[in-house]
Structure 1
């Protein structure tokens, strides 16, 4: 594991150790990373929103913006009533200054930049995959990790904390230091409790629920904090005099079953801290990648090439262990401050060839010779898990320019370009940052794109209906951002 193995790791823990990592106001945090001057300011990111317009819906509101009554899935027009645009108060850009607006009571509005958010998400998930063998990516901003084989519920010699807490803090610190966005982490013996724990102390929180204390932790919490209980279900439970998780745990399971069917019994078990679901990845990966940051941005060619060689070997080894052949080899280069560039080349057929991965990656890296770089990554994609005969190296090497497909022309970049450069449009089948950002295949009934969300939600955000049969209606109140990962029913 990068960063070293944590001391005191044990293998005899009788209970699972599950981490739920949830990025805080993720889209707003990404905008702050892009523009550090937004730190501490109210930030609203809108889907279906264009700068200066009043249509669309709130995808994310920072905690500062929420103090003015701006919430996820709220229409932008309503958000503007609660928190006017800073541009209107200051006369920034082409906006005429409104003397009646106080800048201290205004916020910054930004349209969604999904390519950028996906690239930041991949940086986070690269750390998560490095910290755990088993990762379930739920959406762009959250994931479960089973770290039972990496740490333990045993306590440190001074008894101040569990080793699991130290491990979770290590994960949080890596995300903050290497990516620059905050995360809240919940640690518990099962998935549903870990999710409740990650929401318990936001933002930038760390909550550990040890085995044996799960029911005591859950009991006093409002019933809607139980994973799977949304506002509609909470109202129906309130009509049954069930107000807290403890009330739900003490309720008659037969009555819950009569009212909610199998889901009622499931919620009853979760309120009691009972959840035997395994943390399982969501399908086969679409790509495999490794990234590594330099301590400081560097233009040292030897340092860049050596890091790319190591990453190439690691990625090729991962592919071989997973039984995957690959047809596309690419690099990711991040220039200061966070300008993301990707380049890739495709082969005539799928291969398993570690030397070729390094050769192609180093060749693609040449475009950035003499330029300062803060992070590099190597990726293989167009994966094949079947019995396909792999193409020979000779066949690929002799294909020539006419048969070898370069997915990114020398001038193409999917990230911000430096001044004076141009970014050509890649062909339709190009490796994009969206692909790079997702190593786990999204399930067909769990789309993550804002375009899909907007189509389902009609542009003004989701409804509050939380009946699993009624579509994606669960709204995450005042937490996180609106995304279809949240609206795909209330139970996993």
Structure 2
């Protein structure tokens, strides 16, 4: 789904169509902290991005209501100046997850009606296996494949019956279909026939390959690998040396090789979020603000899935690529967003004086059993661990999706992967 939260807001406020829309928290009266959950493509033109502090978003794109109020208070100014102000304001809306779930439910009904196997990745992204419903044969016109026609049918059903736009990628494997779905947003439809996979992938920037985020892309760039084609031609031994077993896997995806089956979604073992800074920062305030937003997002996703957790952890990537993880175990499973934030910030204190390139927050040892959560009177079995692995989470253009779940507390956004938010994959 394209900028799903913003699309939902436009669904109930048609006047917002083609206007800059920012969904997040922190701009209401009395709130002092917040971040962007998702921004429409129009808002992104002003530099507004997902996971961005709301204060920064407001600097780049003033809130429409505020701009109007300021205009009413002013006794001077020409009509042309007012028109200019109207062109440079954004429409800010708070996260309304209950409404977004209702819309997502309508979309998912169409998806499950359109495929026998559906893997729901998040509130706004899914894989469909339609092998038994269509084929790569050409239609009567001899130009379009039946697979393209079927994808167009699904896409049009979503637009017609639900009223929100979707971008669809069609390919013979999961990773290529994912790349195709991100290739022509918004409202795109990209079909990659089996014989054209390598040709399609080769010129794309290496970060387009599913599973490659900014840190890995930078490291590949230092190795002289800038495109998917360059990664496909790279020495497997060199990639393994640099990235472990993940290196050859990324090379396979760049070659269009991916033998994973689309399986119905299972319950994850952990939920996590990552976000990279444009440049490594030593600012304690910036690091704390980012971790607080990520912690709130992760906790909200856990709430949305009905999950409790026993372990809370962070990930800190120090220049050049020094990956560190720290975690703390609790005495029992909890559902406590404030606790996630406080523990994450305590763990972050170790890196207070370090330049940090990327941060992440994770909750793990999940439990989906109904019943009361543990009552915590203190820590039990607290532990700290450092993880030297170089694995980096897959980024999602939707999303990842937009990716994304959970109502925002204390002025922070929810939403998996909306647009620019870097993230861990959910561990299955």
Q: TM-score range, shorter-chain basis?
A: 0.5 to 0.7
Q: Which of 203, 208, 213 does residue 186 from structure 2 map onto?
A: 203
Aligned partners of 1:223 and 1:229 also within 8 Å: yes
* 1:114 and 2:115 are equivalent in the alignment: no
- Determine the structure 1 residue equivalent to 2:234: 251
- Determine the structure 1 residue equivalent to 2:150: 167
- Determine the structure 2 residue equivalent to 1:228: 211
- Determine the structure 1 residue equivalent to 2:61: 83
Consecutive unaligned residues in structure 2, runs of 5 or more: 268-300, 312-334, 346-355, 361-386, 405-414, 418-422
1:90 offset after TM fit, Å?
1.4
Change (3 A) 1:26 1:215: same
Greater relative contact order structure (CA < 8 Å, 6+ sep) = 2
- Determine the structure 1 residue equivalent to 2:225: 242
Q: Distance in 1 between matches of 2:55 and 2:17?
A: 24
Change (3 A) 1:133 1:139: same
Change (3 A) 1:234 1:153: same
Change (3 A) 1:165 1:474: closer
* 1:266 and 2:249 are equivalent in the alignment: yes
Give deviations 1:198-224, integer Å, cap 9, x for gaps: 000000000000001101100000000
1:158 offset after TM fit, Å?
2.0
1:73 offset after TM fit, Å?
0.9
Give deviations 1:146-193, integer Å, cap 9, x for gaps: 000000100112211000000000000000001010000000000000
Change (3 A) 1:43 1:129: same
- Determine the structure 1 residue equivalent to 2:263: 280
Aligned residues: 310
Q: Which of 166, 175, 181 does residue 183 from structure 1 map onto?
A: 166
1:89 offset after TM fit, Å?
1.4
Aligned partners of 1:195 and 1:227 also within 8 Å: yes
1:103 offset after TM fit, Å?
2.1
Q: Which of 140, 145, 148 does residue 131 from structure 2 map onto?
A: 148
User: Which has the larger Rg?
Assistant: 1
Change (3 A) 1:39 1:87: same
- Determine the structure 1 residue equivalent to 2:425: 489
- Determine the structure 1 residue equivalent to 2:50: 72
Change (3 A) 1:452 1:207: farther
Aligned partners of 2:204 and 2:228 also within 8 Å: yes
TM-score by length of 2: 0.65
- Determine the structure 1 residue equivalent to 2:275: none
1:470 offset after TM fit, Å?
8.0
1:282 offset after TM fit, Å?
1.3
TM-score by length of 1: 0.57
- Determine the structure 1 residue equivalent to 2:107: 124
Give deviations 1:253-274, integer Å, cap 9, x for gaps: 1110110011111100000000
1:96 offset after TM fit, Å?
7.2
Aligned partners of 2:168 and 2:180 also within 8 Å: yes
